[in-house]
Amino acid sequence: MLVKKSAAIAGPAVNTAIKNNSVTKVVGKITEGGGQHMGGFKAPQLPPPVVRPVATSSSKPVVEKQITRKNEETRPEPMDTTPAGEMPDATQQQHSGTGVDDNQQAQQKPAKKVWTLSNFDIGRPLGRGKFGNVYLAREKETKFVIALKVLFKKQVHAQGIEHQVRREIEIQSHLRHPNILRMYGYFHDESRIYLILEYAPGGTLFKEQQQQPGKRFPENRCAIYVYSLVSALIYLHERNVIHRDIKPENLLLGHGGELKIADFGWSVHEPTSSRTTLCGTLDYLSPEMVQGQPHTKTVDLWSLGVLAYELVCGKAPFLATTYEETYRKIMKVQYTVPPDVTKAASHLISRLLVKDPANRMPLENVAVHPWIQLHVDKK
């Protein structure tokens, strides 16, 4: 993972996160050893702003084969922290309110914006990882708050994961779903790659889980998280994208506490073939992946079952003291559900943690399972 499990894209209220007198001028620090330029790439333009209607009485507001193991006082400027689906484009904002008609404005379209680090105020670190860091940041002209993921090219090259980073950008930048973290764009300089990501102030689901009594969520909350994840996975699978690394550390919480899938470093776009790569997190590996057999989208169904168990029970179902014991438990699908877990929750888990991939409950059936129906209001 590019960000350790303790590294959350989270923090206190945004208006106190970046202050004028404490905005870290790390432009020089981050880019030490090289100026900004676009190298051989051309950074894509960020999406245009969402036009929000005025409120009225009727309007509603891969290192391959690498496995990880679970364990372990000046007032600041106002910042736009609205959980919008699009990042405002400052060049387009400059044309508003000028009295220029639409036709003339269309003829005066600005050139595509090329992003550099100088476009952003950099705030506090949100997380640190093996290949780089994540910072709270703000686009200077629009005051739009984002999370800036900074990857070190030397580390990426040394580990031979250039294809993994490229895959993460190619996949995530094209996804548009309320339960999937947005990637607004990217740019790079001589020594670093920068990913412009949606800011999720709630942090990781893992961090939130550690703060719960017994590290367990109430079942109604678990059902809501599972249902949100199912919705996102249906969207991904319809586009032939397999995530392959579903776990609490890769799930973030947005402004309203909504679940968002993040970190697509292990994801693949496989419309016609299956995969044999051993990847992801040990406790979440499916039996076919443990055996090195070809795998398909059904690996995400297994991970969904592991996640449901962990959220309800407070630990991973196949947790053991050694790798070998964990592998053995996975292959035998050997786990125990605590007696205080409801039968409905246990049934759903048992229909997902199935050794034969073909017999795992389809996502569409999970969405209408009695346990989900009992707790989720779909209005």
Positions marked active-site: 245
- Does 198 show up as a binding residue in the annotation? yes
- Does 149 show up as a binding residue in the annotation? yes
- Does 60 show up as a binding residue in the annotation? no
Asked if 146 and 137 touch (Cβ cutoff 8 Å), the reply is yes
- Does 207 show up as a binding residue in the annotation? no
- Does 200 show up as a binding residue in the annotation? yes
Asked if 103 and 31 touch (Cβ cutoff 8 Å), the reply is no
Our measurement of the distance from residue 111's CA atom to the centroid of its chain's CA atoms, rounded to an integer in Å, reads 30
Tell me how far CA of residue 285 lies from CA of 4, 60, 67, 122, 210, in angstroms. Answer: 18, 42, 9, 37, 22
Residue of 317, 85, 324, 311 lying closest to 209 (CA atoms): 311
- Does 250 show up as a binding residue in the annotation? yes
Provide CB contacts within 8 A for 339, sequence distance 6+.
Answer: none
Dist CA 353 CA 43 (whole Å) = 42
- Does 199 show up as a binding residue in the annotation? yes
Structure tokens at 266: 């292990």
Tell me how far CA of residue 312 lies from CA of 38, 278, 308, 377, in angstroms. Answer: 47, 27, 6, 19
Q: How far apart are the first and last CA of the chain?
A: 36
- Does 263 show up as a binding residue in the annotation? yes
Residue with tokens 């790569």: 277
DSSP assignments along 299-315, one per residue: HHHHHHHHHHHHHHHSS
Annotation: binding site: 130, 149, 198-200, 249-250, 263
Annotation: binding site for ATP: 130, 149, 198-200, 249-250, 263
